[in-house]
A = this chain, B = another copy of it.
């Protein structure tokens, strides 16, 4: 492994941009050297944190010591900033969603290719431990082959009061959180999405969706439900997954959860009917004692490298990117299908650009 540190300048030094300084400190292959923001107070903050505070983007591009541009601006300007970076010979790390559309992203990719530079999208939630626990269960069939995967993120704070509630800047929850949850699913499930249906919610009166639900059917038989809400004063579990032998749940970011499976060693004992409401039910009675096993969730599946260590290796030509641009494009195409499905209130098919 090379010992060169790659220098990053952060463009857009808001909440997410400054958070990257912490993430990059966890890697010994990459270092933040400077920052640029249109707002003066943020440039001051960057200077106070010990970074070179550039006074214009042109100044960043002109600095030969800058190797990588990290884009953490509103979504509508990602493309222009990236294309100019490539033209100046820089590599680019871009926050998600990388672009306003799949067409925009294709332009960005073309500019990177023409310049022979690296473009990597910060789909960092592939590293989330809760997701990697589900990925482990998916790969190892811990509760049998998974056939239903429900991924939910619920908040009650509405959409943050910034550009994220403005459509022209790429706001809305499908682009903000949806892009993560969908990226996780497509990263995990190696199968074509054969159909999607969806609905967006507009409870808060913004011109962007404040939440959505999308239902994906995969060719391999898996059904996935992806839901994001910002008006949920009570949260449903972060993950709820069903396998042929049992069910698993992850309640929240603390990773509290469990899995319950059929006890194949136990005698088959019919459950005792219960009174449920005013009716009697055997079907919905609790399984008889001893017929199921409750266990802790497995340890998380590990990725081969951290995001920034992987970035360094990709720049050095010694590794494939973990976040591949073909995958990022596929997620954007899926998001476009979800928007279309919601708008038409129809099930959309034959859109996925998956290649086996």
Contact = CB atoms under 8 A, between A and B. Distances in A.
Interface in A171-208: 173, 176-177, 180, 195, 197, 199, 201, 203
Interface string A116-129: 00000000110111
Given A16-B280, A157-B287, A347-B197, A234 B240 contact: yes
Interface in A273-327: 273-285, 287, 292
A128 B277 contact: yes
Given A217-B199, A247-B234, A261-B233, A127 B176 contact: no
Given A197-B197, A203-B244, A282 B157 contact: yes
Contacts of A349: 345
A283 B159 CA distance: 6
A131 interface: yes
Contacts of A248: 234
B131 A177 contact: no
Interface of A: 15-16, 19, 23, 124-125, 127-131, 147-148, 153-157, 159-160, 164, 173, 176-177, 180, 195, 197, 199, 201, 203, 213, 215, 217, 223, 229-234, 236-237, 240, 242, 244, 246-249, 253, 258, 260-262, 271, 273-285, 287, 292, 345-347, 349
Given A156-B262, A253-B275, 11 more contacts: A16-B280, A23-B278, A153-B284, A156-B247, A159-B283, A195-B345, A215-B215, A229-B242, A230-B283, A231-B247, A253-B276
